[in-house]
Amino acid sequence: MKPPILQRSIPDDGVLNILGRLPVKSVIRFRCVSKSWDSSITTPYFISTHLNHNNNNNNNNKGSHDNGYVIHMPSHPSFWWSPNNRPVCTVAFDCTFDRISEVKIPFDFYSKPAQLVGSCNGLLCLTDFGSVNVNVIYLWNPCIRKFKKLPRTCLGKLENVTLGFAYHSENNDYKVVRISSTPPSTKALKVYTLSSDSWRRVGVELTTDVTFGYGKFILPVPLVCGALHWLARIREDGRSELIMAFDVDSERFSKLALPDCLIKANNCERFLASFKGKLTFITFGYNEQPGFPSQYSVWVMKEYGVVDSWNKLCVVSFQRIACFFGFTEYGSLLVFYCNELVEGPELKFVLVYTEILREKKDPDIQHPSYVATFMESLILLDGANVASY
């Protein structure tokens, strides 16, 4: 059998350079061309090079409507699988939310629904939402149809378990951070690294006793400037609030203050998010303005770590009770309206341009969902103990 024309006429380096710029599905097909191509494509170097090309293309085409994706999955038990069905994740364009494809979650959880912990470079982290110890955790790359079940953490029963998922740029690695608080003051923090496929305990030095994570709605922990961020309360009075930032590289905590005018404000709900790469603090409250019962105030930290750089981006008022569940990469606010009718709840999802405070077309979503940015990648292609389907 004659070798492919491409392989005969172009040096190996040139072939890999071309392959590194192709979509994931095309690259996967080219693994069948020859053993040497398969060997080259599955190396960590090629996978990182392919990822860097994708990231550079995304950064260079920020204004394009066809650039950038989101993935969303049901977040309410009634929309999860039946005995014969697994839940479906939907991949869509970030700017318009037009549906591109649907992928079924290929693994089972003991309880339903699962929680989307986060998304990094095309790799999704999901956990068993109903598990007391949050010990069932998966990493999944739907583009290459591979997933990995993480080993258990062996920490026993702990309270206030919260997870974060992050890319460790310094080591080109991925980490899952698991924080637990058990009364009255013991802290347990363990970090899983993909390269070692193991958990290890990390010493936590906090001058105050704090509780990580709270609120009615569970949202992915935002990763901004190489750190994962949690809203936290100081145990002494149960009211004082701050932001705890965990630097993924150094594995150390730092504290960030909320905007001065909001430290003692009595808001119904508070959230942290990422808005165009900036740390964002959102408050939800009831509005006294007739016809607009609810509103969201959006604050952005312009200069990371500088408290004085908190700036109120906008205030968005709604004619109905609106539930926040994310920002798109392009900065649109994603909410859903819920009207309790006699026949049952009627949900309507909307995207709101934060720059002009105007609703866009209805996104193609039919149920409360976890939403995260998404991209194609080859991450997990060279991983050990990885399952294919």
How do the pLDDT tens digits run along the chain, 389 residues long? Answer: 455 554 456 677 788 889 999 999 999 999 998 999 999 999 999 999 999 988 877 665 554 444 578 888 877 655 555 555 677 888 988 877 888 999 988 987 766 667 889 999 999 999 875 555 556 899 999 999 999 999 987 655 556 678 999 999 888 999 999 887 655 444 578 899 999 999 998 876 655 566 676 544 567 899 999 999 998 877 665 557 889 999 999 999 998 998 876 655 555 678 898 888 899 998 887 766 666 667 888 899 999 999 999 999 888 887 777 777 777 777 778 887 765 443 445 567 777 777 666 666 566 676 767 888 899 999 999 888 899 99
- The β-bridge relationship of strands 310-318 and 322-327 is unpaired
Q: Which CATH class is domain 69-382?
A: mainly beta
Could you count the other beta carbons within 10 Å of the beta carbon of residue 130? Answer: 15
Indicate the domain borders of the chain: 5-60, 69-382
- The structure tokens listed for 15 are 């072939």
Question: Rounded distance, CA 82 to CA 305, Å?
Answer: 46
Q: Which of 111, 373, 325, 91 is nearest to 218 (CA)?
A: 325
- The structure tokens listed for 230 are 């949690």
Question: Rounded distance, CA 365 to CA 231, Å?
Answer: 28
DSSP three-state, residue 197: coil
* Alpha helices (H) in the chain, listed in sequence order: 5-9, 12-19, 24-30, 35-41, 44-60
Question: Rounded distance, CA 147 to CA 389, Å?
Answer: 8
CA-based end-to-end distance of the chain? 30
- HEC sequence for 24-61: HHHHHHHCCCCHHHHHHHCCHHHHHHHHHHHHHHHHHC
